[in-house]
Amino acid sequence: MLKELFHNQELLKQALTLSHHGKSAPYERLEFLGDRVLGLIVADMLYHTFGKEKEGELARRFTGLVREETLAQIATQLNLGEMIITKEHELRTNRSILADVCEAVLGAMYLDSGLESVRAFMEPIWTPLLHMDKKAPKDAKSALQEWAQQHGHKLPVYTLIEKTGEEHAPQFVMQVEVVGMGQAIGQGTNKKTAEQTAAQNLLKQVNA
């Protein structure tokens, strides 16, 4: 169990306690720290695992391994949703919140027992994900940009259409347009995710 990995249970509690009605909470500072710890360890794992790949290929792998969807998936795997402390129970299944709490837990673990303990915790979880793609995957935005350039179109333009929801659980609607190719929209809990979804939807249109 996760609790057994912590000497200081208060740190874990802080990582799992959400803000209420927009108020700040300690988990946000731990999330900030955990994001950097996560990035360092994943980058180090990629560097030593794929010794022949160039920086661009490593960067594409890195993006997939630290993105919101991956972190939310891991949070679900660890049952973090059930452990989250909040009065707003619907947040336990919110993908953005799950991803944030996952990072907060890593930050708390780093403060509790150091970088190598976090690495030992992360490696069994992230290692299978490293090997899911034999070749470095291309994210939807990169793939769309390459498609547009290959077919003589201008670069994709992304526009914010709408932002809704509370500050702790926002929803963004982004539109992507490639002149002469078409438009598509996408939704997500942050702009980057919404842009990726929009790009993916436009690629589906042109490849249909």
Distance of alpha carbon 126 from alpha carbon 129, whole angstroms:
5
Tell me, yes or no, if 112 is annotated catalytic. Answer: no
Q: What is the pLDDT of residues 37-93, one digit of tens each?
A: 999 999 999 999 999 999 888 888 888 899 888 999 999 999 999 999 988 888 889
Cα gap 139→200, rounded to integer Å: 9
> Is 35 one of the catalytic residues?
yes
Which pLDDT belongs to residue 98? 94
Structure tokens at 107: 């930050």
* SS3 state of residue 18: coil
Two tokens, residue 203: 């690629």
**For residue 151, what pLDDT is reported?**
83
Amino acid in position 162: E
Asked if residues 16 and 101 have their Cβ atoms less than 8 Å apart, the reply is yes
User: Does pTM top 0.75 for this prediction?
Assistant: no
Q: What is the distance in angstroms between the CA of the first residue and the CA of the last residue of the chain?
A: 46
**CA-to-CA distance for 3 and 118, rounded, in angstroms?**
14
Q: How many CA atoms lie within 13 A of 197 on its CB side?
A: 19
**CA proximity to 173, closest of 155, 200, 157, 191:** 191
d(CA 43, CA 59): 9
CATH number of 140-207: 3.30.160.20
The SS3 assignment for 121 reads helix
What is the DSSP-derived secondary structure letter of residue 85? Answer: B
Q: What is the pLDDT of residues 12-46, one digit of tens each?
A: 999 999 876 555 678 999 999 999 999 999 999 99
Q: Are 50 and 61 in contact (CB under 8 A)?
A: yes
Per-residue confidence (pLDDT) for residue 134, from 0 to 100 = 63
Q: What is the pLDDT of residues 179-188, one digit of tens each?
A: 888 899 999 8
Rg (CA), the chain: 19
Domain boundaries, the chain: 2-130, 140-207
Active-site residue identified among 31, 35, 68, 112: 35
Please give the pLDDT value at position 142: 83
What does the pLDDT look like over 139-197, one tens digit per residue? 788 888 888 888 888 899 999 999 988 777 788 999 999 988 889 999 988 888 889 89
Distance CA(97)–CA(53), nearest Å, equals 33
- Cβ(29)–Cβ(111) under 8 Å? no
Q: Which of 103, 112, 139, 195 is catalytic?
A: 103
pLDDT of residue 21: 55
- The CATH H-level superfamily of 2-130 is Ribonuclease III domain (1.10.1520.10)
